[in-house]
Structure 1
Amino acid sequence: DSELGVYTPHDIIIDIALLYQAIRKVLKNLNVDIYEYTTVKSVEKDDRVIKSIKSDGSTEFNGEHYVFAAGAWNKTLINRLGIWQLPTTIYVCQALTFSKPANMKIIPLYFQDSHIYMRPEGATRLVIGNGYAKIIEDPDSYPNRAEPEYIEDLAEKICDRFVDPSEIKVISGWSGPCSTTPDGYPVLGRIPGFDNAYIFDGLNGYGIMRAPAMAELLVHALVRDAWKELPTTFDPSRFNGLRNYEPRVIELHS
């Protein structure tokens, strides 16, 4: 059988751990204070303005603007602080790591029929997944390893994609929480009811690809007061007052 493929030789693979290290280094060079592993406990509000944020350990943060970009944890955080009812659905995606022979050359691939993707990780490993989404309530309750049924299902699907499937073996599996909105589009902009609080969420598991450009848009809007230049499709106010919605994952990217 014949298959049609699209070859994009200029695509790149980003090592997330190294990216975070690079971002941390840039921020420190800009004299930005970084507080990691910190839990926000409360906010001080004055009508439409957030005055300050307090964290565990009684540390207080004062600023002109507050951006909530906690990913899958945004919903719990914002609801708990009484800022807004963020209508996102939290779900878990899983992936597997396989060993492979060093002489097996594989470029990043995506198969539209089965939604399987694979990419090399170093010379002797592959990361393989298929975007399988499992809806959860609490982003802290996601499984820290791939589920057995997921491993079995993925293994069956990838066997058809290798000349000799016995050359690759499962090493480990992992999962992580993602967030999406009722219409599948991100939320980016001012939180309804506030003049200096902003939301950045609903990236649907594609944060590393979408976040840099969206963050630049938000900073531009903040610095230049250019809110009309933000995409209206992402406007958080489209969900203002929404209480009942069906939790589901809309994969607009595929």
Structure 2
Amino acid sequence: MNAARPREPAQPAATFAVLGYGRFGRAFADLLTQAGHRVRAWDPHAAVPAALAAASMPATLADASWIVLAMPVPQLRDALLALRPLLHAGQTVLDVGSVKLHPCATMDELLGADFPHVGTHPLFGPLSLARGEPLRTVICPSAAHTEAAARAGELFRALGCEVVVQDPESHDRAMARTHALAFFVAKGLVGLGVGDDMALAPPSFQGMRHMLDAVRGDAGHLFAAIQRENPFAAEARAQLLAELERVHRQLLTGADDDRLAIPAPSA
């Protein structure tokens, strides 16, 4: 049985408009509903359950205090342009994309000082939620709306998340060397057929197997966006490839075992 996640005292029920009902939009809507919040969802490209579905985007936003942008990152600008005339200052807009520089800059540009907004990256997905794993969320405050970031922090803590506050550039740099590289390595392994037959996999491969399962189960379809929308991902991939090539050459040239040993973790 999964251990219960620690939660802050429950917040008063709020109404959420979830724009985008893909894998994460569905999972996040379920999490909000389980926490006692009211949720309406809108996605012209996905089937939304009747209990959550609204007839239109304006109907989705009616009476909502939180607007959740859960569409693919490349669609965010067009969504904000359509959304802006429908907003009022009592609503808070947050995005849940896995990159932050571009979405945060776009929200600052299009929503400005008029409408509270905050960038967020929930570091979990449907598989993490199903497993009952510890949840974390990164919050990237807008300089014009620090109070919105504080409210978002309270919201995610009440949902059982550890909250980390970062600026968008620091977030994307960190994700380039973790999230993006994990997906990059997983894509290569899956392309080679690694992980299809685990009958002879040694214990040392179990961590890699968990990574493959997580990538495939949570957001394998987001591979291109994670790589292309993060401005630091290409550099991280190039550095990884260069390092692997260096090790490959060492192996071919018969380098001393001491030079090839994998260092122990720092104390």
After TM superposition, the score normalised by the length of structure 2 is 0.26
Please identify which structure carries the higher strand content: 1
After TM superposition, the score normalised by the length of structure 1 is 0.27
Please identify which structure carries the higher helix content: 2
Of structures 1 and 2, the one scoring higher in RCO (CA 8 A, sep 6+) is 1
